[in-house]
């Protein structure tokens, strides 16, 4: 159940990034196609963050320390671009146009995911 919830939260965060950031678009025309695309891209996002991000962090740990963690913003932007590239390779209607779109998109996805996860955790505690 937690995996499905995480997938849905990520898909909603990706949808938010398409509305907030110029250069991030879902090119599907129907609402159901958009939802399907966002769910598949959310899965790609999870796979990239689970496999590639730890490798990059391990290889570049010195740069993380040297920049006091700010290099993580660049890494997140590049990983967001990688997700956009994978989506393009799989003919999904999700586009990320350049580094800055990836940079701001990664920040929006993080903030929205954080808020949604916080809200869901609070709702869980009320029961």
Q: Are 38 and 23 in contact (CB under 8 A)?
A: no
Q: Rounded to 5 degrees, what angle do the CA atoms 77, 31, 40 make?
A: 45
H helix intervals, 21-98: 31-59, 61-66, 71-89
Can you give the pLDDT at residue 9? Answer: 95
| The two structure tokens encoding residue 41 | 């891209």
State pTM to two decimals.
0.88
pLDDT in tens, the chain (127 residues): 888 999 999 999 999 999 999 999 999 889 999 999 999 999 999 999 999 999 988 888 888 889 988 999 999 999 999 999 999 999 999 999 999 999 999 999 999 999 999 998 877 766 6
Can you give the pLDDT at residue 20? Answer: 96
């Amino acid at each position: 159940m937690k995996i499905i919830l995480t997938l849905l939260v990520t898909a909603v965060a990706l949808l938010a990034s398409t509305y907030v950031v110029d250069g991030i678009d879902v090119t599907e025309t129907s609402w159901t196609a958009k939802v399907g695309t966002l769910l598949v891209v959310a899965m790609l996002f999870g796979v990239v963050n689970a496999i590639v991000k730890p490798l990059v962090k391990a290889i570049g740990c010195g740069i993380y320390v040297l920049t006091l963690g700010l290099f993580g913003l660049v890494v997140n932007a590049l990983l967001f671009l990688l997700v956009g590239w994978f989506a393009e390779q799989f003919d999904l209607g999700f586009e990320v146009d350049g580094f800055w779109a990836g940079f701001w998109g990664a920040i929006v996805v993080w903030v929205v995911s954080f808020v949604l996860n916080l809200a869901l955790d609070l709702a869980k505690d009320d029961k």
